[in-house]
Structure 1
Amino acid sequence: MSAAPPSFESRNRRAFRLALGVTVVFTLSQIYQWPVALLASAGAVALLQDAKAMPFWFGLRTILIAMASLAGGFLTALLLSGFPAVMVLTYGFLFILLFRFVLTTGEHLIIFVGLLVGCTVIPVLVLIWPELALVATIGAMTSFFIAWLISTFAFAIIRPPADVPLAHPHSESELDVTQISVTLGLILATLLAVFLVFGLTDILVLIYSTIFALSLTISGVRDSFLTYFIANLVLAGLATIVVYEILVMVPSLPMMSALVFLVIYVFAQQTFGHSPMAAAWSSACFGFVLLLSGTLPKEGVIATDKVLDRVVQIGTGALYVAAVFAVVGFISRVRAYSHAGGANG
């Protein structure tokens, strides 16, 4: 997503804590395989990129809001399930409000992820697999809670400094809240409509496209889509393929955990650095855990050879999001040029 908040702590300690927490959550999700377990690893990545842990009760309140967002998405989808067109229009309007919310409030990102998943994945499940929608909603809520619980323990074990540097939010000149909110509302509403019309069932593409779009939202850089696209497709994709191929040769749970720890640690080292690519590495962390979760099995450590298919599917979703950003950016530049020309004339 966006670059990790600044900290006085060394990036080695931050990277180790992130890798440790995500690995524990990822391993648990592979052992117990509850529905939509892949959200747990993504949630852990989001929480452990913070400079320090939220106070316990504030953190509990935050995660409960995120869980309530999932439940709200399920109930709204049930209410509108007989009117797909109304559902898409309703969620499209909600998307715009949600993006404005994340760009103008200080609430934690995990709340926004819960809201987006509740408004994208859950409606698709309600219409396509109504009998599984409630199970998936409960599974997603479980994933968020486990991510918060393990992240809290990780911060307790590897304690960060009490004080952190002040963050430097984007100024209004850098971030056109209205335009970005409308653009991303259009992206997700159209994607949701396509899934509903054609009965698509690959919710991993929906989840990834949502998180990829969120990366671009918070970056505040309109032309950053290519960097994020390359970071996710190349970095996350190659890491997933390498890990997968190693696990094909050595299919064991300890090996899987060790490889996940290693990849996340390397990615986190770059995430907590000060390079211009730090935010892209952060986004690639999400891409890696989501891609790998989608390629690992339900019966054992390795059960599918569709990792390349997953990379292509995820790449397609990312390319779609990036293309819409490019088109909207081009239209905005043309309009700005036209207005400037008219003023000069």
Structure 2
Amino acid sequence: MSFIKDYIEQQTLNRRNLLLLSAYGLCGAAAATALRPTGARAVTPSPKIAWSYRDRTNPYWNAIVSGGNAFVRSLGLPESALINLINGGSSEKSLADIQSLLARYGSSLALAADPNDMPNCRPVVEAVSRAGAYVSTIWNKTDDLHPWDFGDNYVSHMTWSDIGPSEQTARVLFDAMGGKGGVVHLGGIASNNPAIERLAGFRNALKAYPNIQLLAVQAADWDTQKANQVMSGFLTRYGDAIKGVHCASDTMAYGVIEALRAEGIEDMPVVSYDGNPQAVELVTKGKILATVFTNPYWAGGITASLAYYAATGAFKPSAEPHEHREFYGPTTLVTTKDAQDFKAKYIDTNPQYDWKNFWSMTRGQIQYGKTI
């Protein structure tokens, strides 16, 4: 359990260092300028590969980038060949860093990206398309933005169907509470697709448990320190009325657990999401009752692979069916009953993946307006 306190203390310093790292290699780039539209599809034998993401101090994003590194190694390249664009949760920085990279490399860029929030996805995609480069995105985009509207340059978008799995974690929590008592929910960034869907799944579960009282819902922005502060506030406000905690991510659960420990509370039922190694370890010990694994290692590698092989001309995105361009990634519920076996298979070692088998683990085309 000491890792939680260490994790919280190191976040501020690590985030500052990683933000500096995100600018490494970009200092000599020209300032971002308006990029001209391109005509015919350009093929680049050896495109530059980049991953744009929030924060590598976060175990989830560390796993994403580890998958990206594994893909790069599969090409016979050193891990340093992967350009890391770390935005620290800023959509403005995300777009500015991508524009700077496009100003340097133009159409010779294969980009994997989480745009940080839904509205930011469109300007990122438009900038990449104007440059004639290639981008595959995950998690965050608006429902009206589709890869097939941008020819080959917007290669793909992957998200996860979080409503059903989040409802499952809520049911695990409510059952542990004996089907009654007060519950609080800590959510992610309000404009993030996963935050919206995980809250929706939580609310769906509430409908089947009339004796569970929802005390509060508050965003903690996927951040451990903010979650710690939010949970401390909940404890001050609601005290013993809180009988369970539903967290939209593992990293926020760490802050919740530390806040509970500070009040001498060791047995509060808590559930979370993402299946990070530390969270799975806590599930094996019963400190977290359930989490949901989204296989970020595979997602990080396959997203980079899709952008790269589209850039090289190995496949033509516009010739693929829609289910190969917008799709769900895999999810697995991990509970105290199966956490040990799961840990041995997915956490203690990373399975070997065929990075050219792009859609082997996808779960069908994204469906809008449906709760699956």
User: Which bin holds the TM-score, normalised by the shorter protein?
Assistant: under 0.3
Structure of higher RCO (CA pairs closer than 8 Å, 6+ residues apart): 1
Structure richer in strand, relative to its length: 2
Scaled by the length of structure 2, the TM-score of the pair is 0.23
Structure richer in helix, relative to its length: 1
